[in-house]
Amino acid sequence: MAEIAVLGFGTVGSGVVELIDRNQEQILKGVPEGIHVKYILDLRDFPDSPYADRVVHDFDIILADPEISVICETMGGREPAFSFSRKALEKGISVCTSNKELVAAHGPELIETARAHRCSYLFEASVGGGIPVLRPISEALIQEDITSIIGILNGTTNYIMDKMEKEDMTFEDALSLAQQKGYAERNPEADVEGHDACRKIAILSSLMTGKTVRYEDIPCEGISRITKADFGYARNMRMAIKLLGMSRRNADGSLSVRTAPFLVPEDHPLHSVTGVFNAVFVHGNCVDDLMFYGRGAGKFPTASAVAADVVECCRCRGSHVEVRWSDETLALADPSEESRQFFVRVGAASADAARAAFGDAAQTVQSDSPAEDEYAFVTGELTEKEILDRIGRLQDVRACIRLLDLGK
């Protein structure tokens, strides 16, 4: 048996333990001797759990056990997850994780530690929950020049916006429903302000380029300013509003990365990704368009991705599973030079000023809901710098949302 330990017996950690029991027959196809969870590390006790006898409270017990070859870090957060992961890797114990915060902040360093100690640091579950997307990008698409990755990477915000679009809910009501359903955290800031999606597009962009794309360098906007009124216009334009993480190679070879709400036309495959589902849309120069779709969160989908990494680590014991992500920081393209169309709403008193500022290229749009006393339009192609400059001249700007173009 390959002996492993699980750090953190929360939603994902308990899913990993249960999955390994439930799917042992499937696991035997990859690891003929089988996989056994020897320890579960948590601050709490779980007297009613069938796994109660495996719970320990001291990480050093796990570290000192020479039988342990893989650790699943499903604790989340930076510390003590970082210290525990580094100590395990330094002892030649592979680490598999769902912790996107830690991966986005310390991924290359932990990969390098794993390489130096002939073990592995794998993190499939950190992006897209159960969707196998990181290994396909790193391995199945190694021959491709990947020119763009666009993802719906946060299930909570996709659920909220779906409710606002289809059931005409306010942001506050949809968020409260997401919290009742257990999708959104009590403190939903990381999801609704886009930080979670931003970390995930940083990880994807790093694997796309092999260098470090720092999430701190990515312009990040969440969905808290999107209103019911915006969806009235979106529906009439046959578009959905989605929080996207976007990474695109420019003609000069530079990379533009951004996290923001976008209007997505109905003929784009990302339009149909609803509820808590996630999708990652990839363009390679030879393979053309690909879309990876599935449950971006949840106990068993996320546990499935962690368990896949555990199987890979067990199969490759004594060697390092290569992940091409160096610690060299990639300088991103100037975000103010990105160009696209924008949807803008202004109060009626600013309509003339808006027409003057945006000229004939602006196309008026209507809402499918009772009209507010306002003027709404889609601009021609403008850079981020230009749109900021023009809306900065107007009073009572109620919305400014980017349009996803189909061509790029």
By CB under 6 A, name the binding residues for ligand HSE. 129, 154-156, 183, 191, 196, 296-297
CB nearer to ligand HSE: pick between 232 and 296: 296
What is the closest distance, in whole angstroms, from the C-beta atom of residue 156 to ligand HSE in the complex?
3
Burial class (CB in 10 A: 0-12, 13-18, 19+), 147: middle
CB nearer to ligand HSE: pick between 215 and 358: 215
Q: In DSSP terms, which residues pair with 150 in a beta bridge?
A: 246, 281
What is the closest distance, in whole angstroms, from the C-beta atom of residue 219 to ligand HSE in the complex?
20
Query: End-to-end distance of the chain based on CA atoms, in angstroms?
Result: 49
Alpha-carbon distances, residue 257 vs 270, 385, 403 (angstroms) = 18, 16, 15
CB nearer to ligand HSE: pick between 99 and 138: 99
Is-catalytic flag, 100?
Answer: no
With contact defined as beta carbons under 8 Å apart, do 257 and 247 qualify? yes
What is the closest distance, in whole angstroms, from the C-beta atom of residue 403 to ligand HSE in the complex?
24
Cα 279 versus chain centre, distance: 9
Angle separating helix axes 100-116 and 81-90, nearest 10 degrees: 20
Nearest position to ligand HSE, beta carbon: 156
Nearest to 157 by CA among 296, 341, 337, 354: 296
CB nearer to ligand HSE: pick between 182 and 359: 182
CB nearer to ligand HSE: pick between 108 and 245: 245
Q: Which of 87, 100, 200, 242 is catalytic?
A: 200
H helices of 91-220, where? 100-116, 134-135, 155-167, 171-180, 189-192, 195-209
Residues that are catalytic: 200
